[in-house]
Amino acid sequence: MSNLFLTIDLEEYFHSQFIRPYVKEKEARAYKYVELLLKKLNQYKAKSTFFVVSEWAEKNESLLKQISYEGHEIASHTHTHPSLSLIKNDMVFYELEKSKDILSTIINKNIKGFRSPNFDMPKKLFSYLQQLNYVYDSSLCKSKIHMLSNNLIEENKNIKELALESIIPPGGGFLRFIPIKLFEKLVFKKGQNCIVYIHPWELDDYSKIKNSVPTLKYFLHSYNINTVEKKLDYILNKFSSRNLQDLLEKK
Residues that bind Zn ion (CB under 5 A): 9, 11, 117
In whole angstroms, the minimum distance from the beta carbon of 1 to Zn ion comes to: 29
Which DSSP helix (H) or strand (E) runs through 98?
helix 89-107
Nearer to Zn ion, 5 or 44 (CB): 5
CA 68 from chain center: how many Å? 16
Measured from the CB atom, the residue of 41 and 198 that comes closer to Zn ion is 198
| Cβ closest to Zn ion, residue 55 vs residue 184 | 55
Instruction: Report, in Å, the least distance between residue 212 CB and Zn ion.
Output: 21
Please name the amino acid found at residue 211.
Answer: N
CB of 30 to Zn ion, least distance (A): 11
Q: How far apart are the first and last CA of the chain?
A: 18
- Distances in Å between the Cα of 187 and the Cα atoms of 136, 170, 195 are 22, 6, 9
CB of 116 to Zn ion, least distance (A): 8
Q: What is the 3-state secondary structure (H, E, C) of 33-68?
A: HHHHHHHHHHHCCCCCEEEECHHHHHHCHHHHHHHH
Query: What is the sign, positive or negative, of the torsion defined by CA atoms of 122, 139, 180, 176?
Result: negative
Cα–Cα distance, 20 to 81 (Å, whole number): 10
Q: How far is the CB of 58 from Zn ion (least distance, A)?
A: 17
For Zn ion, which is the closer residue by CB, 11 or 95? 11
Please report, for residues 66, 100, 118, 171, 198, the alpha-carbon distance to residue 192 in angstroms, rounded to integers and kept in the order given: 30, 30, 24, 16, 19
> Of 120 and 165, which CB lies nearer to Zn ion in the complex structure?
120
* Least spacing, CB of residue 11 vs Zn ion, in Å: 5
Specify the residue, 44 or 121, whose C-beta has the smaller distance to Zn ion: 121
Cβ contact 49:72 at 8 Å: yes
